[in-house]
Amino acid sequence: MNNLENFSPASSDTGFTETIETVDVVGHFIQGGLVAKTTRKQAVYHPATGQVSKQVALADTALVNQVVELAQQAFPEWRDTPVIKRARVMFKFKQLLEENADKLCELIGQEHGKICHDAKGELQRGIENVEYACGAPEFLKGEFSKNVGPDIDSWSEFQPLGVVAGITPFNFPAMVPLWMFPMAIVCGNCFILKPSEKTPSAALYLAELLKQAGLPDGVFNVVNGDKEAVDALLHHPKVQAMSFVGSTPIAEYIYRTATSTGKRCQALGGAKNHAIIMPDADIDNVVNSLLGAAFGSSGERCMALSVAVAIGDEVADLVIEKLKLEMQQLKYGHYADEQNDFGPLITQAHKEKVEAFIQSAEQQGAKIVVDGRNAKPLGYETGFFVGPTLIDQVSSEMVSYQQEIFGPVLQVIRVATMQEAMQLINEHEYGNGTCIYTRDGEAARYFTSHVQVGMVGVNVPLPVPVAYHSFGGWKRSLFGDLYAYGPDGVRFYTRRKTITQRWPSAQIRECKQFAMPTLN
Is the pLDDT reported for residue 308 higher than 70?
Answer: yes
Query: Does residue 330 belong to any structural domain of this protein?
Result: yes
Domain identity same for 264 and 284: no
Domain identity same for 127 and 194: yes
DSSP secondary structure, 39-102, as one string = SEEEEEEETTTTEEEEEEEE--HHHHHHHHHHHHHHHHHHHTS-HHHHHHHHHHHHHHHHHTHH
Domain identity same for 365 and 310: yes
Please report the pLDDT score of residue 19 as a whole number: 42
CA–CA separation, 206 and 8 (whole Å): 13
3-state secondary structure of 253: helix
Domain identity same for 296 and 419: yes
Domain of 182, CATH number, reads 3.40.605.10
Domain identity same for 136 and 204: yes
Cross-strand pairs, 239: 163
Domain identity same for 116 and 39: yes
Is the pLDDT reported for residue 51 higher than 50?
Answer: yes
Q: Which of 422, 456, 490 is the last residue of a domain?
A: 456
Domain identity same for 318 and 304: yes
The residue segments making up the domain with residue 286 are 271-456
**Which residues fall within 8 angstroms of residue 442, CB to CB, at 6 or more apart?**
none
Query: Does residue 468 belong to any structural domain of this protein?
Result: no
Query: Does residue 169 belong to any structural domain of this protein?
Result: yes
Domain identity same for 264 and 276: no
Query: Active-site positions?
Result: 302
Mean pLDDT of the 242-252 span: 97
CA–CA separation, 361 and 369 (whole Å): 12
Contact 267, 480 (CB under 8 A): yes
What's the structural domain count of the chain? 2
Mean pLDDT of the 341-348 span: 97
Is the pLDDT reported for residue 3 higher than 50?
Answer: no
Domain identity same for 157 and 37: yes
DSSP H or E segment with residue 443: helix 441-450
Bigger pLDDT: 262 vs 150 = 262
Is the pLDDT reported for residue 4 higher than 80?
Answer: no
Query: Does residue 462 belong to any structural domain of this protein?
Result: no
Please report the pLDDT score of residue 516 as a whole number: 80
Is the pLDDT reported for residue 218 higher than 50?
Answer: yes
Percent of the chain's residues with pLDDT above 90: 89
**Which residues fall within 8 angstroms of residue 426, CB to CB, at 6 or more apart?**
451, 452
Domain identity same for 321 and 249: no
- Report pLDDT digits (tens) over 354-392: 999 999 999 999 999 999 999 999 999 999 999 999 999
Domain identity same for 370 and 248: no
Query: Does residue 461 belong to any structural domain of this protein?
Result: no
**Which residues fall within 8 angstroms of residue 93, CB to CB, at 6 or more apart?**
130, 182, 209, 210, 213, 215
**Which residues fall within 8 angstroms of residue 17, CB to CB, at 6 or more apart?**
10, 35
Mean pLDDT of the 432-438 span: 97
Query: Does residue 159 belong to any structural domain of this protein?
Result: yes
Tell which residue, 96, 100, 103, 104, has the closest CA to residue 122: 104
Is the pLDDT reported for residue 31 higher than 80?
Answer: yes
Reported as a pLDDT band with limits 50, 70 and 90, residue 520 is low
Query: Does residue 72 belong to any structural domain of this protein?
Result: yes
- Report pLDDT digits (tens) over 154-204: 999 999 999 999 999 999 999 999 999 999 999 999 999 999 999 999 999
Domain of 277, CATH number, reads 3.40.309.10
Mean pLDDT of the 500-516 span: 80
- Name the amino acid, one letter, at 457: G
Tell which residue, 463, 471, 59, has the closest CA to residue 233: 59
Query: Does residue 246 belong to any structural domain of this protein?
Result: yes
Please report the pLDDT score of residue 311 as a whole number: 98
**How far is CA 134 from its chain centroid?**
20
Domain identity same for 36 and 181: yes
